């Protein structure tokens, strides 16, 4: 081996060893870091930065910006610690109450700033989700926070009818309140601004409403909503509700229509959509057919 080639080979070996050491160190870092604490520390820095903005502000509008920053920091801290179950009921409530003091102040100081309403509405919306998940608040609190979130998002929409973010969040708020018609109206307006997001939301809400029609034995209405959900691309790109199995059940158990049932099975198979195997087996037995 010539001397230059030996140097080159040694350099490659040294680089490989360096890469292995770096990857090993990164893995150790991933394992050793207390990620919940790291994130909470980031939110605390956001709280501190907001306090600094408030202290340095010379106008109400500037102070409002600081209150938004500090309020959202406390809200994110409450939400994140709830997810990781590292907060008790008293501290959880205190964090949210502290956040709301800041966000109420932001609205009061600068009522023309839609971001103040957005930050407060988002905090109410997040708290409504947490209230339904964590057992730290009574179940009735969920609707109370949703109602307040809806009011704030509505203020934004009244000022800017093309605010897709506020329309989307109000749609999700209406959906969680069980007002599917209002949610559909909001998502339809979202579709005019963001076709992909609008279709995703509509597919999901039609699927969910279809499920409520099944519970009420309103099978024709269920079919209309579930078929609409599928036509919009349900169960793709994050849609939570799967209309295929629900629609199959409705066709043959609710309406006794085996032809439509098998047409749906073939469609699901051709599109590689999952159907409950036991439901397909029941269809075979009920229809005395295999396809």
Read off the pLDDT of residues 253-288 as tens digits, 9 standing for 90 and up.
999 999 999 999 999 999 898 899 999 999 999 999
pLDDT at 10 over 70: no
Read off the pLDDT of residues 18-61 as tens digits, 9 standing for 90 and up.
444 444 443 333 334 344 544 667 889 999 999 999 999 999 99
CA dihedral 97, 157, 68, 149 (to 10 degrees): 10
- Give me the residue spans of the domains in the chain: 35-157
Read off the pLDDT of residues 84-114 as tens digits, 9 standing for 90 and up.
778 888 898 899 999 999 999 999 999 999 9
- Residue 61 CB neighbours (<10 A): 14
Would you give the DSSP letter of residue 250? I
Read off the pLDDT of residues 174-229 as tens digits, 9 standing for 90 and up.
999 999 999 999 999 999 999 999 999 999 999 999 999 999 999 999 999 999 99
């Amino acid at each position: 081996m010539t001397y230059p080639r030996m140097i080159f080979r040694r350099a490659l070996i040294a680089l490989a060893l360096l890469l292995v050491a770096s990857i090993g160190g990164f893995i150790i870092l991933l394992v050793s870091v207390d990620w919940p604490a790291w994130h909470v520390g980031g939110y605390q820095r956001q709280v501190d930065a907001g306090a600094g903005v408030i202290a340095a502000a010379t106008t109400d509008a500037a102070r409002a910006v600081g209150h938004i920053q500090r309020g959202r920091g406390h809200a994110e801290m409450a939400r994140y610690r709830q997810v990781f179950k590292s907060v008790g009921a008293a501290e959880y409530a205190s964090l949210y109450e502290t956040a709301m003091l800041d966000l109420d102040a932001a609205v009061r100081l600068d009522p023309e700033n839609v971001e103040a309403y957005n930050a407060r509405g988002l905090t109410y919306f997040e708290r409504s989700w947490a209230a339904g998940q964590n057992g730290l608040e009574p179940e009735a609190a969920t609707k109370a926070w949703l109602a307040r979130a809806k009011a704030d998002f509505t203020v934004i929409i009244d000022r800017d009818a093309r605010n897709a973010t506020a329309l989307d969040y109000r749609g999700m708020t209406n959906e969680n309140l069980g007002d599917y018609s209002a949610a559909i109206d909001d998502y339809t307006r979202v579709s005019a601004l963001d076709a992909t997001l609008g279709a995703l939301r509509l597919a999901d809400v039609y699927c969910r409403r279809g499920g409520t029609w099944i519970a009420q034995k309103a099978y024709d209405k269920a079919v209309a909503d579930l078929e609409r959900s599928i036509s919009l691309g349900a169960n793709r790109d994050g849609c939570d509700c799967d209309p295929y199995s629900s629609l199959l059940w409705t066709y043959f158990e609710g309406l006794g229509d085996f032809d439509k049932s098998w047409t749906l099975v073939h469609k699901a198979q051709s599109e590689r959509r999952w159907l409950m195997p036991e439901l397909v087996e029941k269809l075979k037995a009920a229809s005395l057919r295999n396809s």
